[in-house]
Chains A and B, each alone.
Chain A
Amino acid sequence: MITEECINCGACEPECPNTAIYAGGVQFEYGGQMYEPISNDFYYIVPEKCTECVGHFDQEQCAAVCPVDCCVPDPNRVESEEELFERAKILHPDREFQDLTVATSRFRKTA
């Protein structure tokens, strides 16, 4: 999720491998249909399109580039690696995913 600390710099949007991030006030696309924006004030993440970068990178790319640290896990929507990986496969049906590694899942990182 993106908190109200967001200053609409837009750094996160192009980094998302799932196109899950939209500018405030902009409709989002999901499953071939358009939906009303979740936020009108600042950038937002569509939860149904977010995999926390599981399947793609070792950390959430939005958080990595956010200068104000406002791309954070949603405490009201905690999901497992398995759930997120399944979503990645659904979102990218044409892509052949390999087994998850430290390079493609933040869950595989050691402390």
Chain B
Amino acid sequence: MSPRGVTGAANGTDQNLAISLPFSYVPPEMDDHFQRGIEEFNRQFFFEAHDTWEELWMETTGTHRLFYQGMIQTAVGFYHLSNRNYKGACSQFGKALAKLEQYLPVCQGVDTRNLANGVRECRFDAELLRDGKLTAFDERKIPRIRISPPENY
């Protein structure tokens, strides 16, 4: 697995991240910070994504607090996976899924069903890697966070 997330973490920030908005539709209620974290996640800058969402999580007290934490733990799971910390990845994916599954199928514009399915598949592989039953992780399995069209709300 290439260390893209690790490289991003080492650099601290990536100034290019704020340039483009890859979404064809951005829900009006989506927080700018949250959106930036999604961009970072989809570019596999997992440490940065966690960092961005952490600020949001810390200041959130309402019903979305647990959702943001689930997103953070998803990012951290992939960060651990990229560092071959398979035990840590398995644990974080488990914690993330327990939270994301409370916000199906869409939350804050995020297609949580698709994300949870992707995390579940990666957790399965992480468990195999942890137990020595798999030798390499197929990066193509890393899910991209999709924004759900408004008609699905």
Partner-B contacts on A (CB < 8 A): 3-5, 7, 9, 11, 65, 67-69
Are B87 and A11 in contact, CB atoms less than 8 angstroms apart? no
Q: Is B58 located at the chain interface by the 8 A CB criterion?
A: yes
Min CB distance, B60 to chain A, in Å?
11
Interface size in chain B (residues, C-beta < 8 A): 18
Are A68 and B76 in contact, CB atoms less than 8 angstroms apart? yes
Q: Is B35 located at the chain interface by the 8 A CB criterion?
A: no
Q: Is B47 located at the chain interface by the 8 A CB criterion?
A: yes
Q: Is B80 located at the chain interface by the 8 A CB criterion?
A: yes
Min CB distance, B77 to chain A, in Å?
9
Interface SS, B side = helix
Are B76 and A5 in contact, CB atoms less than 8 angstroms apart? yes
How many angstroms from the CA of A77 to the CA of B44 in the assembled complex?
38
A67 CB contact (under 8 Å) in B57, B80, B88, B91: B57
Are B76 and A7 in contact, CB atoms less than 8 angstroms apart? yes
Are B47 and A67 in contact, CB atoms less than 8 angstroms apart? no
B58 CB contact (under 8 Å) in A4, A65, A68: A65
Contacts of B58 in A (CB 8 A): 11, 65
Q: How many A-B residue pairs have CB under 8 A?
A: 35
| 7 closest A-B pairs by CB | A5-B88, A67-B72, A67-B54, A68-B76, A4-B88, A5-B91, A7-B76
Min CB distance, B34 to chain A, in Å?
14
Contacting residues of chain B (62-121) with chain A, CB-CB under 8 angstroms: 69, 72-73, 76, 79-80, 85, 87-88, 91-92, 95
Instruction: Name the CB-closest residue of A to B46.
Output: A7
Contacts of B76 in A (CB 8 A): 5, 7, 67-68
Contacts of A67 in B (CB 8 A): 50, 54, 57, 69, 72-73, 76
Are A7 and B57 in contact, CB atoms less than 8 angstroms apart? no
Q: Given contacts A67-B69, A67-B73, is CB(A7)–CB(B79) below 8 Å? A: yes
How many angstroms from the CA of A5 to the CA of B87 in the assembled complex?
8
Contacts of A5 in B (CB 8 A): 76, 80, 88, 91-92
Are B95 and A68 in contact, CB atoms less than 8 angstroms apart? yes
Are B54 and A4 in contact, CB atoms less than 8 angstroms apart? no
A4 CB contact (under 8 Å) in B73, B79, B87: B87
How many angstroms from the CA of A4 to the CA of B86 in the assembled complex?
10
Contacts of A65 in B (CB 8 A): 58
How many angstroms from the CA of A4 to the CA of B47 in the assembled complex?
15
Query: Given contacts A9-B51, A67-B50, A69-B73, could you give 9 more A-B pairs where the C-beta distance is less than 8 Å?
Result: A3-B88, A4-B88, A5-B91, A5-B92, A7-B47, A7-B79, A67-B54, A67-B76, A68-B76
